[in-house]
Structure 1
Amino acid sequence: MRAADIMTTKIVSAGPEMSVRLAAGTMVFAGISGMPVIDEDGKLLGIVTEGDLMHRAEIGTGVKPRAWWLEMVASTRELASQYVKEHARKVRDVMSTDVATVTEACPIADIAELLERRRIKRVPVMRDGKVVGVVSRANLIRALVTMAPELPVANDIKDHSIREAVTAAMEGQPWALARENVIVESGTVHLWGQIVSAEEGNAIRVAAENAPGVKAVITHFGLPTPDLSSGK
């Protein structure tokens, strides 16, 4: 498998002039812990993550004062950088600029090693200098569950064709899964995602079962947590 096979293509991103508060809200409502920062020309400038927003003056989570002798040892550059992280209002001032990237052809084993070595949770996927996707740890874990030994090229192409057929079968439906939530290994289709109802899950499963070449369909669906506060 390669980055192109598992990456998320619906990219949630920030602009360098976006406010820190809006960036935090965007991540919360999108259910993500980080996003690429892209300028108006589509150039990748950096990544803003939960880690970049952990220590903020507004919520009293700034780095606690250190002993006076540690303050003396700390460089002016370090103290200034810490101040900016805690007080800056724009994404451009808090984002991480040392960004690791991969191409669509990058093997997922290499991506896993990169995430581990850099201690990061996601990596942008690039094509011709533009971000076309993001591979996160969650994407890798999904692939891991369905991972099989490498198959001959012909079989790999067959699985790819099945995946495209399953995606096409759901196209235009309000309950359709995103392409990155469909993984095929040796003709077995694995479907991932959160569904609203059992009926929605059945529709997704039937669409996959009717795709040419499918040997089996395995669902990994989650249902929303019921609201117990209403007493229902």
Structure 2
Amino acid sequence: MRSPVVAVGPDSTLDEVCDLLVTRGLSAVAVIDRGVMLGTVSEEDLIHRAEIGTAAPRRSWWFHLFGRNATLAADYLKSHSAHVTDVMTSQVLTVSLCTPIDQIAALLEVNRARRVFVVSGQRAVGIVARADLVRALAAARQSLPSPASFHDDASIRRQIVDALRTEVWPSIGAADVSVKNGVVTLWGGYLSEQERKASLVLAENTAGVRGVDDHRVPLDVAHAMV
């Protein structure tokens, strides 16, 4: 996570928020009052503004007739007010300091969010954005050990077979995998193009593999040949 959290107070103005976003290259700032996080103002909150002609279009007549007064007024506040508390989003995704990174990634994906805030009690102590996960991926790939110059064929085959057994999607088994001089040969069939590609990647990512020779056929073709 990144820490500390860049924040404004509930009495801050929209001008202060815009200045922070622009000068610091941020996509969001937290709104904090005496250590308690009230919400966040992000780029998404500011894309529909009257000043730049992007305010949300007026609702149709039927919405005015049957819609809620509060919704119509909220639309106006969001696009016209200069008060942070009128513009901010109150429902913010939060995690704790102990939340595993895979759960954070799932939260971002399910909620189609760009960031989560890390809280301790009611205090925001950090932020994890999608960009942070990409940076973590880049660092992890750079730290991968270099493949050893030699792996015997038996150990390569054993690693591939063991990896296949840990997954639920492969249609091939141990009898369909052979290795000679570091080149993996796959036999048998596959149920989908996605399965074919996934098994190729599994083999390619195995230490010592110099190449993959794929002799498999789609299982519907294999059944037709029987």
Normalising by the smaller structure, the TM-score range is 0.5 to 0.7
Please, what TM-score do these two structures have when normalized by structure 2? Answer: 0.59
Structure 1 partner of 2:12 = 18
Find the partner of 1:130 among 115, 123, 126. 123
- TM superposition shift of 1:85: 0.3
Structure 1 position 31, deviation (Å): 0.5
**Runs in 1 of length 4+ with deviation above 3 angstroms?**
184-188
**RMSD value over aligned CA atoms?**
2.1
Q: 1:28 aligns with which of 22, 40, 53?
A: 22
Q: Which residue of 2 aligns with 1:117?
A: 110
Q: Distance in 1 between matches of 2:92 and 2:107?
A: 11
Partner of 1:161: none
Letter of the 1:77 counterpart: A
Q: Which runs of 5+ in 2 are unaligned?
A: 147-226
Instruction: State percent identity of aligned pairs.
Output: 40
- 1:101 correspondence with 2:70: no
Cα separation, 2, equivalents of 1:83 and 1:65:
10
Query: Match of 2:71?
Result: 78
Report the equivalent of 1:8.
2
Distance 2:145 2:13 in 1: 46
**Residue 118 of structure 1: how far off its partner (Å):** 1.7
Distance 1:186 1:79, change over 3 A: same
Structure number with greater Rg is 2
Q: Deviations over 1:183-220 (max 9, x none)?
A: x95699xxxxxxxxxxxxxxxxxxxxxxxxxxxxxxxx
| Separation in 2, partners of 1:30, 1:11 | 12
Q: 1:185 to 1:131 in 2, by over 3 A?
A: farther
Distance in 2, matches of 1:115 and 1:103, equals: 14
- TM-score under structure 1 length normalisation: 0.58
Q: Which amino acid aligns with 1:119?
A: R
Gaps of 5+ in 1: 1-6, 149-183, 189-232
What secondary structure sits across from 1:58 in the alignment? helix
Which one-letter code corresponds to 1:15 in the other structure?
G
SS of equivalent residue, structure 1 residue 46: strand
CA shift for structure 1 position 20 = 1.1
Letter in 2 for 1:18: S
Aligned to 1:140: 133
Aligned partners of 2:90 and 2:27: how far apart in 1?
Answer: 16
What is the CA–CA distance in structure 1 between the aligned matches of 2:93 and 2:85, rounded to whole Å? 17
Instruction: Report how far residue 60 of structure 1 moved.
Output: 1.6
Task: Determine if the alignment matches structure 1 residue 62 to structure 2 residue 55.
Answer: yes
